[in-house]
């Protein structure tokens, strides 16, 4: 009897021990469940903190934040704003009226349209003054930034070259700048960029030769002739090619096309007999005065006159165009045009206000 009773007591102790272990396991599981529900949303307590029950349409803040961030990048399904809109409004940390509008300018041509004053370290000229006045009238925060015209670097605004032909600049394509000041819309440029309203009257292009035309250049027949063009400018070989109805050999072979980065380079090339003629705009007055016009005016280069060139998705025209119309009627604009004659021409080449200003 006593032996069986001892066995029963041993089994009872083992049963109690197993029961205790099971209870501890269940308690641990319950604690983990409460802790997890607290972390992802639901009833508490968890981690020793009081919790609450989420409503049927509520969600934890972390889960909500993740969902909204993912939805922001859904462009086609309407779950959130397009990527472009999000990046555009937060670019450089500015949004709305605080945004800085960057205006790229080329200063390779020191003229009364655009120049850089070494003494003051500031930009000046008609284009600068008009653009600044328009920004002020529109209440926009604009900044002028220098864009490099070095042929060894990628073009910032526009480029034409023997190697690449006509192409848009990386500065505009990559949104490093909002606009390039003083660019005319051409048939080729219009395929890549948009333009604001013009800020000057439309200019014309001509063929130019040395005084007296010593080589008897005939612009009606370009077969076998070498023509000098300026990079970046709208007076490109495509413009000449559109005149096939009145010019023989208007579509030039690549061996006939020579590009130069500076106007003086064309003058020097004519002197060295490297080219038969130069093709450029009459707004390059300093160069054209040293040469002789050798053709009728060519009107197939531009769709309109110089303006601001922008990406097609840039909204700058929405505020620039109406503000420009206001500026053109203002006393400030008359003062700007007076400066073109009275101030800029005293030390810089360029055309008079009669050819530069609108409505004069």
Give the residue among 176, 189, 134 at the shortest CA–CA distance from 309.
Answer: 189
Residue 268, pLDDT score: 94
| Confidence tier at 330 by pLDDT (50, 70, 90) | very high
Task: Write phi, then psi, for 4 (nearest 5 degrees).
Answer: -65, -40
C-beta of residue 108 within 8 angstroms of C-beta of residue 149? yes
Q: Does the pLDDT at position 21 exceed 70?
A: no
Q: How far is CA 201 from CA 248, 295, 334, 354, 356, in A?
A: 30, 21, 16, 10, 6
Least confident of 2-16, 97-111, 281-295, 306-320: 2-16
CA-closest candidate to residue 172, choices 154, 199, 197, 153? 154
Distance CA 109, CA 102 (A): 20
What's the CA gap between 240 and 244, in Å, rounded? 8
Chain Cα centroid distance, residue 215: 43
How confident is residue 36, by pLDDT bands cut at 50, 70 and 90? Answer: very low
Give the per-residue pLDDT at 109: 61
Please compute the mean of the pLDDT values over residues 26-44 and round it to a whole number.
Answer: 50
Instruction: Pick 163 or 199 by higher pLDDT.
Output: 199
Q: d(Cα 182, Cα 23) in Å, to the nearest integer? A: 83
Q: Which of 208, 227, 201, 214 is nearest to 289 (CA)?
A: 208
pLDDT confidence of 124, banded at 50, 70, 90? Answer: confident
Supply the pLDDT for residue 61: 57
For the purposes of burial, counting CB atoms within 10 Å of the CB of 272, is it exposed (0-12), middle (13-18) or buried (19 or more)?
exposed
What is the arithmetic mean of pLDDT over 124-133? 93
| CATH number of 205-293, picked from 3.30.1330.10, 3.40.190.10, 3.40.50.12160, 3.40.50.1820 | 3.40.190.10
Segment 100-123 shows an average pLDDT of 82
Same fold, 99-201+304-353 and 205-293: yes
Q: Is the pLDDT of residue 338 over 70?
A: yes
What percent of the chain is predicted at pLDDT more than 90? 38
Mean pLDDT score across all residues of the chain = 77
Listed in sequence order, the residues at least 6 apart from 196 whose beta carbon sits closer than 8 Å to its beta carbon are 179, 307, 308, 310, 316, 317, 320, 321, 324
Q: At what angle do helices 331-342 and 316-328 cross, to 10 degrees?
A: 80
Question: What's the confidence (pLDDT) of residue 41?
Answer: 45
> How far apart (Å, rounded) are the C-alpha atoms in residues 27 and 20?
11
Residue tagged 């490099």 (tokens):
148
Mean pLDDT, residues 236-261: 92
Could you write out the DSSP letters of every residue in 5-61?
HHHHHHHHHHHHHHHHHHHHHHHHHHHHHHHHHHHHSSS--BTTB---PPPTT---H
CA distances for 85 relative to 47, 82, 222, 316, 319, angstroms = 41, 5, 50, 15, 18
Q: What is the mean pLDDT of residues 219-243?
A: 91
- C-alpha–C-alpha distance, residues 275 and 252, integer Å: 13
- Domain borders along the chain are 99-201+304-353, 205-293
pLDDT at position 40 over 50: no
Strands 100-105 and 179-183, by their bridges, are: parallel
CATH code of 99-201+304-353, in short, is 3.40.190.10
Quick one: pLDDT at residue 89?
Answer: 36
Q: Which of 114-123, 206-215, 244-253, 331-340 has the lowest mean pLDDT?
A: 114-123
Rounded CA separation 143/178 (Å): 10
Pairing verdict, β 100-105 and 141-146: parallel
Question: Residue 195's pLDDT is what?
Answer: 95
């Amino acid at each position: 009897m006593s032996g069986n009773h001892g066995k029963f007591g041993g089994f009872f102790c083992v049963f109690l021990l197993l029961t205790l272990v099971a209870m501890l396991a269940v308690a641990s599981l319950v604690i983990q469940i409460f802790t997890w529900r607290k972390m992802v949303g639901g009833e508490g307590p968890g981690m020793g903190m009081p919790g609450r029950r989420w409503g049927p349409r509520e969600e934890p803040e972390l889960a909500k934040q993740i969902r909204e961030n993912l939805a922001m990048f859904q462009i086609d399904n309407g779950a959130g704003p397009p990527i472009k809109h999000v990046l555009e409004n937060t670019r450089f940390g500015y949004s709305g009226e605080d945004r800085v509008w960057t205006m790229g300018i080329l200063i390779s041509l020191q003229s009364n349209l655009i120049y850089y004053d070494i003494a003051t370290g500031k930009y000046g000229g008609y284009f600068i003054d008009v653009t600044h006045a328009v920004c002020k009238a529109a209440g926009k925060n604009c900044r002028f930034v220098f864009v490099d015209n070095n042929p060894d670097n990628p073009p910032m605004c526009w480029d034409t070259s023997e190697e690449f032909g006509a192409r848009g600049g990386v500065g505009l394509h990559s949104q490093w700048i909002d606009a390039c000041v003083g660019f005319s819309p051409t048939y080729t440029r219009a395929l890549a960029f948009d333009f604001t309203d013009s800020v000057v009257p439309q200019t014309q292009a001509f063929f130019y030769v040395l005084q007296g035309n010593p080589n008897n250049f005939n612009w009606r027949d370009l077969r076998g002739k070498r023509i000098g063009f300026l990079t970046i400018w709208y007076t490109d070989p495509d413009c000449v090619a559109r005149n096939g109805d009145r010019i023989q050999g208007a579509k030039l072979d690549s061996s006939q096309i020579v590009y130069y980065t500076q106007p003086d380079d064309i003058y020097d090339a004519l002197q060295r007999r490297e080219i038969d003629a130069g093709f450029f705009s009459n707004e390059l007055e300093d160069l054209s005065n040293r040469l002789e016009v050798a053709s009728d005016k060519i009107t197939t280069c531009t769709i309109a006159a110089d303006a601001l060139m922008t990406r097609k998705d840039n909204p700058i025209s929405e505020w620039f165009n109406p503000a420009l119309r206001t500026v053109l009627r203002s006393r400030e604009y008359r003062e700007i045009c007076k400066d073109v004659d009275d101030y800029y021409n005293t030390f810089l080449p360029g055309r008079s206000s009669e050819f530069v200003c609108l409505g004069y």
